[in-house]
Structures are given as structure tokens and as C-alpha cells.
Amino acid sequence: MSNVTEVLTALADPTRRHLLERLSIRGEATATALAGDLPISRQAVVQHLAVLDRVGLVRGRRRGREHRFIVRTEPLAETVKWMEKLSQQWDYRLSVIKQIAEASEVHEHATNSSSGQESRESHE
Amino acid sequence: MNTDRIEREVVIDAPIERVWSALTQPASVSSWFSNGNKVTIDLREGGVMALDQGDHGAFQTVIVSVSPPNLFSFRWASAYPDVLATEDNSTLVEFTLKATPEGTVLRVVESGFDALEIPADRVQHAGFENHSKGWTGVVAEFVKYVMANQETALFDSP
């Protein structure tokens, strides 16, 4: 369900990141316990958990009368892939520059040897 | 993983001057950075390099250093189409070129992700490819942290 954009949007809020960090440390926790870790109300914690739940970053479980939450890492794995993609975009750009630079050398030799070529706008 | 910067490099079998041209001339910048769309470059410190990345938006990058044939850097506000890049809204993209016996080493470093703040309202309106770049730092840091905790946690999602 979740995609990288939704996950990133959910993580845009520093409080939600903090909340998720605390939950990942606790392993499993109720909203009340999490509210004890953070300078916000239990009600605010519940609202933030709902946002995280929508994008699949947490999941609630009922344990008797308690509603406990755990972190889910699947959506994070997707964002890791996305970060790798950022690096790959630079690899791609560098490879295009490489192609142009290496090809223009060949081109240069070609134009040098055929002097009848019309003069180009700018030569180095 | 360093959360603030991306570093990549490539060895090019061409003289450094030619790599410099491939890096900075409008026609080739169009190829490597602008999906073949029009690019205008005022190649001087403080000059604007304007990119049209089609569906991803148009970007007004601002050139920081031009020192042929060794250094070319600019600020890129990839989360803010049409807005002039400033220190607050952009990452720094820095290309260094070095002649070696193996060829010209072209290195790129994009840095400043950690300091980049994208307002929440922008996140929703900006296209994914545009705004997402700014999140590398925050997300990398966070993912690393949570994954590390997760490894030691006792629960596994059934």
C-alpha cells in the first residue's frame, strides 16, 4: 500500500520520527507508554500513530485490554532502495558526461581530418 | 552511510579540458542533467544555470564556483521548482576534475541534505522526484537507527 512518497510525508514531522524511534527502542508499546517518553499528550501520540499506521510504519495489536504498537520496517526498506536510486542518478549523469567527453574526442579527430567541414560555432 | 552527502566518481578516457566542456557546455548539460531539454548557463560565480527538467519542473541553480578545468559547483533547490537556489533551500553540487595517468577523474559530491528543511506543505505539493532529494539525510539517519533497533528487538512481524 505505502509508497516512498507517503512514507516520506509521514516522516516529515520530527515528532513522528521521534515517536517511531522511541517505539523501535521499546519494541512494543502502548500509546500511553509512548506519551511518557515524549513531551506530548497521549491524544497527540494516538493521532501520530494513526498517520504512521496509514503508511504501514506501525501496526497495532490488541493484548487483552491494551492496544500495543510495533514498528514495521517494510516501508523503510523501500526508502532505502530509493536512497540508493539517488546515488544511481549521479552514476547515470556521470556516465552521460563520460560518453560525451569520450565521443567528442573522436569527433574532434574526425573534424580535424576533414577540413571541408563548415566551421562550428565555437571550438576550444 | 553518511547522511549529508552523496559522492560518486568516474574515470573518463579524455583530456581534462574535454571533460570540462562536457560538464559545462549547455548542449551537454542538457543531455546529462535536463533530459535533453533547453539549458541556459551564465557560467560565472553567482550566475544562473537554468534547467528545464520537463515534468519534474524547471530549476534555477546558482553557480558557486567556476575554475576551469578543475572545479565547477552550484546550488540546486531540487525541492523548489522555479525558485532561485539559496543556501537555505538547496544542496551543493560540486564537481572536481583531476588529470591522472588513467584518465580524467570526475568526482561529484552533493551535500547539505541534513540541513535541508522541506516544509510539510511543500512535501505534498512538490513532485516526488523534486522534493524527495531533500529527504536523504533525515531518512537515512532515521532508517539506520530504526533498523539497528529492529535487529535487536525480540519481535518479528508474523
Distance from CA of B130 to the nearest CA of A (A): 11
More confident residue, A83 or B76: B76
Closest CA to B24 of B116, B95, B77, B84: B95
Q: pLDDT over 70 for what percent of chain A?
A: 71
Q: How far apart are CA A50 and CA A44, in angstroms?
A: 10
How far separated are the first and last CA of chain B, in Å rounded?
29
Residue B16 has pLDDT above 80, yes or no: yes
pLDDT of residue A79: 65
Choose, out of A37, A73, A100, A111, the residue to mutate when testing the contact with B (most B CBs < 10 Å): A100
Contact criterion met (CB < 8 Å) for A97 and B145: no
Choose, out of A84, A89, A93, A121, the residue to mutate when testing the contact with B (most B CBs < 10 Å): A93
Give the list of residues 6+ apart from residue B28 with CB closer than 8 angstroms, or none: A96, A97, A100, B21, B22
More confident residue, B152 or B38: B38
CB B12 within 8 A of CB B19: yes
B123 touching A (Cβ < 8 Å): yes
Residues 89-118 of B with CB under 8 A from A: 104, 106, 108, 110, 118
pLDDT of residue B25: 93
More confident residue, A30 or A5: A30
More confident residue, B4 or B81: B81
Contact criterion met (CB < 8 Å) for B120 and A98: no
CB A119 within 8 A of CB B32: no
pLDDT of residue A27: 86
pLDDT of residue B114: 59
For every residue of B82-142, DSSP letters joined together read TSBP-TTT-EEEEEEEEEETTEEEEEEEEE-TTT----HHHHHHS-HHHHHGGGHHHHHHH
* Among candidates B10, B33, B136 on the partner chain, residue whose Cβ is nearest the Cβ of A98: B10
Residue A111 has pLDDT above 50, yes or no: no
Distance from CA of A75 to the nearest CA of B (A): 10
Q: Which domains does chain A have, with CATH numbers?
A: 4-74 (1.10.10.10)
ipTM over 0.85: no
Q: Summarize the confidence of residues A44-62 as an average pLDDT.
A: 94
| Segment B114-147, tens digit of pLDDT | 566 555 444 443 333 333 344 444 455 556 555 5
| Segment B31-84, tens digit of pLDDT | 898 888 889 999 999 999 999 877 778 899 999 999 999 999 999 987 778 889
CA B147: distance to chain centroid?
26
Architecture of the domain spanning B5-152: 2-Layer Sandwich (3.30)
pLDDT band at residue A53 under the 50/70/90 scheme = very high
Q: Could you say which DSSP state residue A114 is in?
A: -
B12-22 burial, b at 16+ Cβ within 10 Å, e below that, comes to bebbbebbbbb
Residues 27-56 of A with CB under 8 A from B: 27-28
Cα dihedral B63/B67/B69/B71 (nearest 10): -60
